[in-house]
Structure 1
């Protein structure tokens, strides 16, 4: 079966990225095993942006090997059921003031958090820059 007909359009992908707020981020741990976590994200500047405590193992792993993945689904959102996207990404860990100044206000507004609380925590911001996309629309497949 040719699944190309079931991919999301660019507009549908951007709509899903704008509406959803949670993703699954995957990376390789220090022994090379794949691991993942559910994280809240902001999609801005053509990349996924998440935050993490600086001392989390994922931060050191992504610095050592930036290869990563991000997956997002339409679950729980007012979009057609069965839409998903995944991206093969490269991670960049940021701890500079200029990134924090634009990221934390957007992140906190979207996540319903107090920026002052995050500002007191020892955090970094992780940019996950897509290198390749994959998508699927289950409803489109069912209509065929």
Structure 2
């Protein structure tokens, strides 16, 4: 194989997820891996449901979860989404919103509606119950203003790999 026909398999920039693919990935509600650090500096993550709105991610959990005090002390966090061979990794800063905080009632009203899908299935009894279930006194909403780090499309990667292997065999 000559240098002119060699495929640079180390350069994956052309495998980026395009804007439409990223928008589809974020359209949710969906699941992500939400990451933060422990007090001793170790990264940890959990799979949670999210809503993406206005460039921010919104997730929820019980206030007693370990991530809540961790994020209050160290707001740096990361979000990884993987669905159907499309992935995106974000990093940002999180804010924990709790009952009694200014604007919490407005935040939970739209967020619980979107997360439960009450906005798209208002007559579904399960959805109605889930929306009510979310509204518990010790539940927090985590808002993460995150920036895209990398978005990847495995379908493009597969095609690129096939091409690279074929070029190697020429």
Assess same fold via TM > 0.5: yes
| 1:132 Cα deviation from its structure 2 partner | 3.3
Equivalence for 2:74? 65
User: Does the 8 Å contact 1:90/1:131 carry over to 2?
Assistant: no
For residues 40 and 121 of structure 1, what CA distance do their matches in structure 2 show?
A: 19
Equivalence for 1:106? 114
The alignment of Structure 1 onto Structure 2 pairs a total of residues equal to: 138
Equivalence for 2:97? 94
Equivalence for 2:148? 132
| 1:19 Cα deviation from its structure 2 partner | 4.5
Could you give the per-residue CA deviations for residues 31-78 of structure 1, whole angstroms, max 9, x where no partner exists?
22111100011111211110011111101101111111101111xxxx
The normalised TM-score by structure 1 is 0.87
The normalised TM-score by structure 2 is 0.75
For residues 62 and 31 of structure 1, what CA distance do their matches in structure 2 show?
A: 13
Aligned-residue RMSD, C-alpha: 1.8
Is 1:123 aligned to 2:139, yes or no? yes
User: Does the 8 Å contact 1:20/1:72 carry over to 2?
Assistant: no
Query: Which of 1 and 2 has greater Rg?
Result: 2
User: Does the 8 Å contact 2:29/2:51 carry over to 1?
Assistant: no
Deviates more, 1:106-115 or 1:7-16: 106-115
